Structure formats: C-alpha cells, structure tokens
Amino acid sequence: MATEKLQKILAHAGIASRRHAEQMIESGLVTINGKIAKIGDRADPEKDAIKFEGKLIRPTASSQSYYYVFNKPKQVIPTVADSEGRPALGLYLPDLRGRMIPVAPLPFVTEGLMFLTNDGTMAQKLQKNGKIKTLYEIKIRGRFTEEQLKRARKGMRIESLSLKPSQVEITELLDHKSVVALVVDASHTLDIKTYFDNLRSLIERVRRVSYGHIELKNLPLGEKRVIEKSSLEALFTQPELADTLLTNYFKKHTPKAATPYVVSAPKKAVITPRGTIASKPSPRVAPRSGSRGTPRIKPTRG
C-alpha cells in the first residue's frame, strides 16, 4: 500500500478530523515505529506501527469507512462516552468497533436523526457545511396561537446565538395539543427547545426528522442503520433533493391556519387520565328553590 500523509491516516481511522489530527501530531501524541511523528510525515498503515497515545491504529480501521444514521433518544449526551457518567451514545452502540465520530449532534433534550462515522474527512465536511436544510417536529402542550406562529417565523436572538427559520408551519392543531414543523439551516446551533421556550410554549417533544434529503423513516429510537457514502455526498452535490423531501412532507402534513382560541363558556380545569390539565365548560346549575334571594313558593291545596 502506498504511503499517505499521517493526518489523513488518522482521519480515516476516525481518530479526529485532519485539522485536529495535525494538532495531535504537533503535541507529540502520535508515533511512527516508535518515533514521535511530525507534520509532513507519511506512513503505510499496513506496514508501519502508527500509534496514537500509545494505542496501535489498526489498518482495518483506516482502510474501511462506516456510515450510519442513528435515532438519538432524548436525555442522552451526543458523545460516545461521558466523563460525568451521564447516558451517552456508547450505551446504544456496543457492537461498533473502532472510534465513531458523532456528526450533526443533537442537544441533550432533543431526539432524532444524527450520523455516526469513522471517516474523519467526511465528518469534517459535514460539520463545515451550514447550508443543509433540516426538519424538526415540535410537539407542544396546548394550542399554538397565531401570535406565537408569527414570532416563530420572524426569528429571534438569544444571548449570542440567533435563529431564523426558513419555514414554520402548524401541522396539527387541537385544543390540548399542537405539532409545529420547523425548517432551519444546519448552521444554526441554538437549541430548538430554547427557541420555543421563549415563545412561551410548553414543549413535550423536539425531534429532528430529516437532514437534507436523509430521513429517519421508521428507525426506532436508539437504533442505527447503514447509509451509503454516496447518500452523504449527495447532501453537497444535490441539495435540491432536500427541497423535494420538504415539498412532499408538507403535502402529507397539510399546514393548518392558526386562529385565536375563543372561549365561549366559563372553563373549569380538570385532571385527565394522562395527568395533563384539560378544560371543559362548567355545567349550568338551576338555582335551588328557597335559596337566598329566591322566594320559596308553597303549593296550594285544591
């Protein structure tokens, strides 16, 4: 096998991106045949003993790349392991060999589509591209109002981060529940839940359902499926595929018009079997005979 640049070998092995691999080499963490490597060194991963932090990089790890779509559950850290002992991706990936790089990671409270790969070059390429359209479904307790919809479409800035969705639609609207679909570029790093919290919405679920033209489909939570490298490359070479997916999605999930919620009768809060607060009209009770302010009429005898 021909020699390759050392940072390329490290990237293919899933150790790090090429830029990060260069920093590792400069820090003296990489050796070739027992000697500390330097920037510009080349090696043959099948013949040379390349080690990172004393661990041998196996040729099989650098010669074959793997790509997966993963459905991340909520309340899971989007890293393979967590130093604080919180639930992490590694709990769901016991069968994967070698180091996997989480790509397009999701916040702790968000579930849905993200990627896993040992291809550092592809991981870096995906992380740098901020023009990929992503679709989220947000389940909200209660009725999403017209005013909230206007504010969601307008966008907002929270601390040093800002978010301006390219499309926001209500796809389900009931008295006790609303579902909102939001399309945003992948460059936005703001937590979607934080965005809707600032709209005074009670969030029950935030889920990323597609990234570009790639969908979750019926992939169960905590499970993965293999994806071809060509599908990932199409994110950059065929961005129109994402537009087709979104068009079909909103045909299937017809947007609903937000209307002000008009209360026609007094409401009385009750507890539903699911434990949520619901409302129902208070029953009208006729005044009791003889109550204060109402004279009691005695029946006459014939």
All structural domains of the chain: 4-63 (3.10.290.10), 65-261 (3.30.2350.10)
User: 64 CB contacts (<8 Å, ≥6 apart)?
Assistant: none
The pair of three-digit structure tokens given for residue 118, joined into one six-digit string? 């040992």
DSSP state of 293: T
Residue 83 half-sphere exposure toward CB, CA atoms < 13 A: 0
Locate 65 and state its tokens.
């790349």
Distance CA 186, CA 128 (A): 10
Locate the DSSP E strands across the chain: 4-5, 30-32, 35-36, 42-43, 50-52, 55-56, 67-72, 101-103, 111-117, 133-141, 156-158, 161-163, 167-173, 177-185, 202-211, 214-215, 224-226, 267-271, 277-281
- Model-level pTM? 0.68
Each residue's pLDDT expressed in tens, for the chain with a length of 302 residues: 578 888 888 876 666 667 778 888 998 999 999 999 999 999 988 788 999 888 887 654 445 788 999 999 999 988 887 778 889 888 888 877 667 889 998 999 999 999 999 888 898 889 888 789 999 999 999 999 999 999 999 998 877 778 889 999 999 988 889 999 999 988 666 689 889 999 989 999 999 999 999 999 999 999 999 999 999 999 999 999 999 999 999 999 988 887 565 444 445 555 555 554 555 555 554 445 444 444 454 555 54
What does residue 248 show for φ and ψ, rounded to 5 degrees? -65, -35
